[in-house]
Structures are given as C-alpha cells and as structure tokens.
Amino acid sequence: MSSQVCHGMHNGVIQNIQADLPCGVTNSSHPYVTCCVNGDYCLSNSICVNTNNENGNYYYAADCTDETLTDPACGTRCGGRNSAEIVYTSAGYWACCENSAGTVNCSDPSEEIFPGVAPSKLATIQYLPSTASGSSGIGAGAAAGIGVGAAAGLVIVAAILALLYFRRRNAQSDGLPQGAGGYNGLGDGSWAQSQPVVHQVYELDRSGPHPELDGQPKAM
C-alpha cells in the first residue's frame, strides 16, 4: 500500500520525519518515493540538496516513504540516518560525512561510499515547498493558482468600473439639455430646427399724395 508519510532513521529507530515531504506521487507501479526536507530540492540518485545554508549548498541522503527503508526506490545510505550529509570526493564517488555526536565533518568522510555522478550532473526532480500543507488543506500550487485568479478577477472588475465611470462622465460633459421627449420636446428624440418668425412690414405708396396729420386738436 502506497504512503505519503516519510520515514528515516533517528537514534537507531525508524521514525516518521515530520519535516520531510515526498519527492513525487506514489501509485500502484511506484508505491514508494524518496523524501527530502521541505524547502529543499529532490535530486536524482536518491539525493537531496539544501541551498539555503550560509556556508553554501550541502547534499544529504534522501529519506523514504517506505516505513521499512528497504524498497529499492529509497536508496538507503549512511545507515538510513535522517538527513545524513554526503560529499562528492575527488576520487569520483559519494561518501557519507563523518557524524560524531551530532557534529558533521565532511572534510574527513567515512568509509561508506557509493557511486554516482558529480553534483553538477544530478537531475532536479522537484522543489519542495518550504511549508508542508496539511492533508485537509490545499497545496501550495493550488493556493498560488487561487491567489492569481482572485487578483485577475479584481483587475477585471476594476477595469469595468473605470470604463463605466468614464463613459458616464463623457456623456455628461458632451450632452445637450433635453426636453421631456428629447431635443425640443420631440417624442422620438430627434432634433428639429426651429423656424424663424417673420413679421411682414407694409410701406406706404410712394406714387400718390400722402396726407399729413394736423397738429391741432380736433373740435368736438
């Protein structure tokens, strides 16, 4: 039965390593996979690398999802010790660093050696998120996707609101006053040009005599 729980040797006892995450997904064909500490990189050859160390990168033997540490996928090395540091020697092989009372000494590796390619030729399998997500939570990838989707949604809503605002403002600044039924009160809203009012003026005939008004008041 496949498992997503990581195991390693601690004080001579195989234990569940809470800081580890599986390097991949288990299935019926590959029921077990290697494990590395969260925040580190899973590499080929059952090797992990920590890139956040102030003294530079350091490599260590991977743990495993097999609680017996015997599955070939685990590649158990350095006595199965959890996060046992390893070093690539000038002789072209990997060796477990000396670990005496918790003090690691890679300048004088132990006699436990195993073949493998140089660090520069190790393939990166995957990066493990720095914080392990619980079984009831969502993964880091899903959380990132949700965050991007939410941000995109907010941008779209803001763009729509801005468009509506500017369209309304332009309509108010460019529009003309309207009557109840459109321009000039027409029911269909179409514009009708107002016709000028013409007042006809009649002139006296210049060819005949023109009587003049008497300036004296008329006797009653």
Looking at residue 171, its pLDDT comes to 63
Q: What is the mean pLDDT of the chain?
A: 73
Looking at residue 2, its pLDDT comes to 57
Looking at residue 192, its pLDDT comes to 47
Q: What is the pLDDT of residues 83-108, one digit of tens each?
A: 789 999 988 999 998 877 667 888 87
Other Cβ atoms less than 10 A from the Cβ of 18: the count is 10
Sequential DSSP letters for 3-40: ----EEEETTEEEE-TTEEESS---SS----EEEETTS
pLDDT of 16 > 50? The answer is: yes
Question: Taking a C-beta distance cutoff of 8 angstroms, is the pair 134, 142 a contact?
Answer: no
Bridge partners of 59? 49, 86
pTM value is 0.56
Q: What is the pLDDT of residues 23-50, one digit of tens each?
A: 988 888 889 999 999 999 999 999 999 9
